[in-house]
């Protein structure tokens, strides 16, 4: 029977990559192991004598860079092994995109849909208090972020609780990222993971050699796409692909899936689900009751953006996508990897592809520490400089530049412009590194192994430069 333990799957992926590196075994063991994991139970009072006991975790996989960084997950299915695996992926993810954090992950075993907003606030604040007591949170220690089941609202509660218990701490807002913009967040963070997926696949599809091997043309226009998961990550990934000219032929959620070869209008599907509670019965689309069957439909790009272990040894032989773009963490098992590689499927791995979130979280953290919005200092100066230059050109040539062209040319960069530009540069640079490793390391079978090789090598160098290992 296939091993679906997420932590062991990540370990197998690590071991497969480590064999290509000339790194001492003791250092590999240090990089691989999860340094700290804190498990605790905490009570929350919901009025009168009614208390509930909740289980919480925070794992810090590596402190080779500080602070540690990773999301907080709210799920009934969460386990310690899952949290350690996700923390490990965060370590490798940060290394791949050159973000100076160690990996971490947190969770509460809870179904947030079963609780009111007031109750969720009490649970979140109590969880934060436990992290503070155990020194598992702080702008220079460990910085949480949103994950499955959480969002900006929960991050605002975490930040407020931290500030209340650290009066006068000038950098307190840097204790968590993914906050609302009004509470120290950064523009572009909400859509960052989905946008990062778009940038990553756009770069992957720009290689004539790689696309020819898959029987595809370069670019995204006209490519048929199926997305699993219509949450924050899946929605924005689908949105950006559709805007780039890709055809969204399938969407899958926990209640089922829909398919239309002519293409689905994402916003109309989203509104249909809001109004009816389900994506099923969308006008003109075919219902697929078994969600996972949607993953097996013919398409150019399949984006699993839900939970882990969605493509396994059981259904991998039936996957017909030419590119699997891992929007979620760990959607493909180790056994499924081998099957897809043998079928000449390009897997763009999670530890690279969904790193857009942590990249923009890094920008938010920098903003919180610098106490200034990106673009505030230079925007007007850049606009005035560009206007002076255009004025000189007009004077020299005698030709007048139209008001519309002048407006477009002289526009200074807002915060969101700088964030998106930095994210695109990060995703392109990281992909180039990974692809270079795959093509230069003899026997490297796929992009996932190349990504692990790249990450492990960077972390090993960091340890050596610290003098911990010779």
What would the two tokens of residue 177 be? 């990222």
Contact 414, 186 (CB under 8 A): no
Contact 319, 342 (CB under 8 A): no
Contact 455, 65 (CB under 8 A): no
Helices (H), 281-414: 334-342, 350-353, 356-370, 379-397, 403-410
Instruction: Give the span between the Cα atoms of 160 and 164, in whole angstroms.
Output: 6
Beta bridge partners of 71: 145
Using DSSP's 3-state secondary structure scheme, residue 308 falls into: coil
Q: Which of 69, 93, 105, 223 is catalytic?
A: 105
Closest C-alpha to 13, from 311, 336, 317: 336
**What is the DSSP code (8-state) at residue 413?**
P
What would the two tokens of residue 221 be? 């226009």
Using DSSP's 3-state secondary structure scheme, residue 270 falls into: helix
What's the Cα-to-Cα distance from 336 to each of 13, 84, 324, 328, rounded to whole Å?
12, 21, 12, 15
**What is the DSSP code (8-state) at residue 104?**
E
Residue 184: phi, psi to the nearest 5? 95, 10
Is residue 105 among the annotated active site residues?
yes
Residue 18: phi, psi to the nearest 5? -60, -25
In the sheet with 51-60, reading across from the earlier edge strand, the strands are 36-45, 51-60, 102-108, 68-74, 142-146
Instruction: Give the span between the Cα atoms of 197 and 223, in whole angstroms.
Output: 15
Closest C-alpha to 30, from 91, 99, 96: 91
The length of the chain, given as a count of residues: 470
Tell me the catalytic residues: 105
């Amino acid at each position: 029977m296939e091993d679906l333990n997420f932590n062991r799957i990540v370990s197998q992926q690590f071991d497969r990559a480590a064999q290509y590196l000339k790194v001492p075994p003791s250092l590999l063991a240090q990089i691989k192991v999860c340094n700290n994991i804190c498990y605790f139970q905490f009570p929350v009072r919901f009025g009168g004598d009614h208390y509930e006991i909740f289980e919480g975790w925070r794992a810090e996989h590596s402190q080779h860079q500080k602070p540690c960084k990773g999301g907080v997950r709210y799920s009934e299915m969460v386990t310690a092994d899952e949290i350690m695996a996700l923390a490990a992926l965060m370590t490798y993810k940060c290394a791949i995109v050159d973000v100076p954090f160690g990996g971490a992950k947190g969770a509460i075993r809870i179904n947030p849909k079963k609780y009111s907003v007031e109750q969720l606030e009490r649970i979140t604040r109590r969880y934060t208090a436990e992290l503070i007591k155990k020194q598992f949170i702080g702008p220079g220690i460990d910085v949480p972020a949103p994950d499955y089941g959480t969002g900006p609202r929960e991050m605002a509660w975490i930040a407020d609780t931290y500030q209340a218990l650290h009066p006068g701490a000038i950098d307190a807002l840097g204790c968590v990222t993914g906050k609302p913009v009004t509470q120290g967040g950064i523009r572009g963070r909400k859509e960052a993971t989905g946008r990062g997926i778009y940038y990553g696949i756009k770069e992957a599809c720009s290689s004539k050699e790689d696309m020819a091997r898959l029987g595809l043309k370069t670019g995204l226009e006209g490519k048929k796409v199926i997305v699993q998961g219509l949450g924050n990550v899946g929605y924005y990934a689908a949105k950006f692909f559709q805007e780039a000219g890709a055809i969204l032929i399938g969407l899958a959620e926990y209640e089922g899936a829909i398919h239309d070869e002519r293409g689905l209008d994402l916003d109309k599907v989203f509104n249909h689900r809001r109004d009816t509670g389900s994506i099923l019965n969308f006008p003109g689309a075919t219902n697929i009751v078994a969600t996972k069957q949607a993953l097996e439909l013919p398409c150019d790009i399949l984006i699993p953006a839900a939970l882990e272990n969605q493509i396994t040894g059981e259904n991998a032989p039936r996957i017909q996508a030419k590119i699997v773009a891992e929007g979620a963490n760990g959607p493909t098992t180790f056994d499924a990897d081998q099957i897809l590689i043998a079928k000449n499927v390009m897997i763009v791995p999670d530890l690279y592809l969904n790193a857009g979130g942590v990249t923009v979280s890094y920008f938010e953290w920098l903003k919180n520490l610098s106490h200034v919005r990106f673009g505030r200092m230079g925007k007007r100066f850049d606009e005035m400089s560009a206007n002076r230059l255009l004025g000189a050109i007009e004077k020299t040539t005698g030709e007048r530049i139209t008001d519309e062209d002048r407006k477009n040319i002289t526009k200074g960069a807002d915060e969101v412009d700088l964030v998106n530009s930095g994210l695109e540069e990060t995703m392109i640079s990281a992909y180039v590194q990974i692809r270079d490793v795959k093509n230069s390391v003899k026997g490297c079978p796929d992009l996932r192994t190349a990504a692990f090789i790249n990450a492990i090598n960077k972390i090993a160098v960091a340890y050596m430069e610290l003098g911990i290992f010779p």
